[in-house]
Amino acid sequence: MRSYETSVPSYGDAMEFEACGECGATGRWGTCEQLFHVLLALDHERRQPWAAYHSVNVACYLLQHPSLASREVLAGQWSIVAIFVDEGLEAVHTLTARAVRRNNCRASGRAEIVGRPAPQAVRPVGATIEDVSVDGSFPATGYEGRIRLWADATATARAS
Ligand SMILES: [Zn+2]
């Protein structure tokens, strides 16, 4: 890939990145999958502000890339996004803690959150994981606000 210093802008430049066929991200900081792995690594370090939003991140990512999950799984993820948008992060933590307790009782090993019907196809226009990443690094400053934009965009895409 050419560096920005030496490149001469032309109409062909946009073709250097492969846009995501599901969420529409441009791919300029890597594929959505690569960005998701960067984000998961931050979540799993249990550092804030990232860790608190882990379940919301996963839900937004899967709903914006519905080919990666079954309808059943997407229904559960949709509940997380809807509750986050409507009631906030604490309500999400209550929901996921309850689901973990239920799973522990059953020992089924399967995450299960009883879901609202999932969207057939989500085509976000407002914000993607690329926007949350800012420059591919998911900086802490403004992170919470960007997650809210991502969740709002995911919820709006479902309604349209
Ligand atoms: Zn994507």
User: What is the predicted pLDDT for the residue at 121?
Assistant: 53
Per-residue pLDDT tens over the stretch 64-122 = 999 999 999 999 999 999 999 999 999 999 988 888 787 776 554 445 566 665 555 55
- Could you give the maximum distance between any two Cα atoms of the chain, in Å? 61
Interhelix angle 71-87/54-64, rounded to 10 degrees, is: 130
Instruction: Evaluate if residue 20 carries a pLDDT over 60.
Output: yes
Contacts of 15 (CB under 8 A, 6+ apart): none
Distance 20 CA to ligand 1 centre (A): 5
The count of C-alpha atoms lying within 13 angstroms of the C-alpha of 108, restricted to the half-sphere facing its C-beta, is: 9
Average pLDDT on 21-33 reads 94
The proportion of the chain whose per-residue pLDDT surpasses 70, expressed as a percent, equals 76
CA of 104 to the centre of ligand 1 (A): 33
Q: Is the pLDDT of residue 11 over 80?
A: no
What's the 65 CA to ligand 1 centre distance in angstroms?
A: 6
Whole-number Å distance, alpha carbon 5 to ligand 1 midpoint, is 27
- Output phi, psi for 30, to 5 deg: 115, 175
Greater confidence, 154 or 9?
A: 154
Whole-number Å distance, alpha carbon 41 to ligand 1 midpoint, is: 18
CA distance 88 to 104: 25
CA of 102 relative to ligand 1 center, distance in Å: 32
Residue 106 makes CB contacts below 8 A (sequence gap 6+) with: none
